[in-house]
């Protein structure tokens, strides 16, 4: 929360005088994630921070538009970067204790396999960079840029389907990734 949400707010507050200055107004472009719409198991803190960043960005968009400052949110799905390796290394260092292992071992293993799948299917960082460039330079930037075909489909489904239909789709995708990883090993 301190980095993904509060940090973004403090940066906007610090730079607002500069964003307001001059003939051409500045822009605010916040880096969210598909996790801001779809909270996966074992990603609760990350998803909460990205959902909060989206609420913050939505409010800022209304507050700053009268001053000529556009606010956009970039929402990529998985991106092919080193973040996956860093995340795995850090998660291996966390000790959840005996009770945590008893309660969550299967869910953690399934999400590790799902994370491996997301890493292998990540979109190129250049696709996200192109969205950022558009948000910064377009005369009419969009409020949201969803990056990656899979991310667009999941975002739309999450908004159209009731939770009782959408949740089983996500649960099945997670289990399928675990089965695929187990059968290929």
CB under 8 A, 24+ apart: contacts of 59-65: 60/12, 60/28, 61/143, 64/19, 64/28
Token reading at 13 = 């507050």
46 is an active site residue: yes
The burial of 97, by beta-carbon neighbours within 10 Å (0-12 exposed, 13-18 middle, 19 or more buried), is given as exposed
Residue 53 near residue 45, CB atoms below 8 Å: no
- Using the Cα atoms of residue 149, residue 133, residue 84 and residue 47 in order, give the sign of their dihedral: negative
Residues annotated catalytic, as ranges: 46
């Amino acid at each position: 929360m301190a980095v993904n949400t509060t940090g973004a707010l403090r940066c906007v507050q610090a730079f607002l005088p500069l964003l307001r200055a001059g003939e051409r107004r500045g822009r605010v472009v916040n880096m969210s994630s598909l996790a801001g719409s779809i909270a996966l198991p074992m990603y609760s803190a990350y998803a909460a921070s990205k959902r909060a960043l989206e609420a913050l960005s939505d409010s800022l968009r209304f507050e700053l538009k009268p001053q000529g400052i556009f606010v956009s949110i970039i929402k990529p799905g998985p991106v092919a970067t080193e973040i996956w390796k860093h995340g795995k290394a850090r998660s291996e260092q966390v000790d959840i204790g005996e009770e945590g292992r008893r309660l969550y071992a299967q869910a953690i293993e399934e999400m590790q396999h799902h994370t491996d799948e997301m890493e292998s299917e990540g979109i190129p960082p250049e696709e996200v960079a192109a969205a950022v460039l558009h948000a910064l330079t377009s005369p009419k930037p969009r409020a949201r840029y969803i990056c990656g075909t899979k991310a667009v489909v999941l975002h739309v489904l999450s908004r159209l389907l009731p939770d009782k239909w959408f949740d089983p789709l996500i649960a099945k995708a997670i289990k399928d990734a675990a089965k695929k990883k187990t059968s290929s090993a």
